[in-house]
Amino acid sequence: MRLRIEPSSGVPISRQLADQIRSQCVARALKPGDRVPSVRELARELAVNQNTILHVYERLTAEGWLETRQGSGTFVKANPGARGHKNAQTQALLAQLRQAVQQARLLGISLEELHEMLSASMALETESDVQAERSSV
């Protein structure tokens, strides 16, 4: 599991980690059944307070991404409920958007500009759909 921490950002470390693990589940970099490091292992590896890691795992377990099997560790959950999964995917998308917003702020891009960029990229998406349809005709 590859995780990066930016201690000097405004986002709490627990949220940074939860967002990254969630994204990796969505992107299938973490597959159902994969074992994730124990709280203690991950805390030591990242040099991050154990309670912080514990919060991350508790939160992701509550969201249906991870499950703890008594005595054998914490795993990526095999079958998140359909609704839970959608919620979780939305959560992951939100997390990515949050990161994008933060990056935009760092680059000095205003909210309006960001909106425009978002609309533009959605327009591009639609355009390519149209083109795909045309070429198939």
Partner 1 sequence: MTPAISITNLTKTFGSKSALRSVNLEIPAGATVGLLGANGAGKTTLIKCALGLLRPTSGQCALLGEDVWSLSAEAKARLGYVPQVISLYPWMRVRELIQYTASFYATWNAELTNRLVREWDIPLDDRVRALSVGQKQKLAILTAVAYQPDLLILDEPAASLDPQARRQFLQLLVELTEPQQRTVLFSTHIMSDLERVADYVAMMQKGEIIYFGSLEDLKDRTHLSLEDAFLQMQQGVANG
End-to-end CA distance of the chain: give it in Å, rounded: 45
Report yes or no: 14 and 50 within 8 Å, Cβ to Cβ. Answer: no
With the CA atoms of 87, 101, 31 and 12 taken in that order, what torsion angle do they form, in degrees rounded to the nearest 10?
A: -90
Q: In the complex, what is the shortest distance from the CB of residue 15 to partner 1, in angstroms, rounded to a whole number? A: 8
Residue 98: half-sphere exposure toward Cβ, Cα within 13 Å: 16
Residues 43-62 that bind partner 1 (CB under 8 A): 43-44, 46-52, 55
10 is a site residue for partner 1 (CB under 8 A): yes
3 is a site residue for partner 1 (CB under 8 A): no
Residues 90-129 that bind partner 1 (CB under 8 A): none
Q: In the complex, what is the shortest distance from the CB of residue 10 to partner 1, in angstroms, rounded to a whole number? A: 5
Report yes or no: 55 and 14 within 8 Å, Cβ to Cβ. Answer: yes
DSSP state of 35: E
Q: Which is nearer to partner 1, 38 or 87 (CB)?
A: 38
**For residues 11 and 6, what is the distance between their CA atoms, to the nearest angstrom?**
8
Which residue in 14, 20, 24, 91 binds partner 1 (CB under 8 A)? 14
Judged by DSSP in three states, 30 sits in coil
Q: Which is nearer to partner 1, 50 or 90 (CB)?
A: 50
User: Which residue stretch of 38-46, 77-85, 109-117, 121-129 sits at the interface with partner 1 (rule: CB under 8 A)?
Assistant: 38-46
Which residue in 12, 115, 117, 122 binds partner 1 (CB under 8 A)? 12
**Positions in the binding site for partner 1 (CB under 8 A):** 5, 7-14, 40, 43-44, 46-52, 55
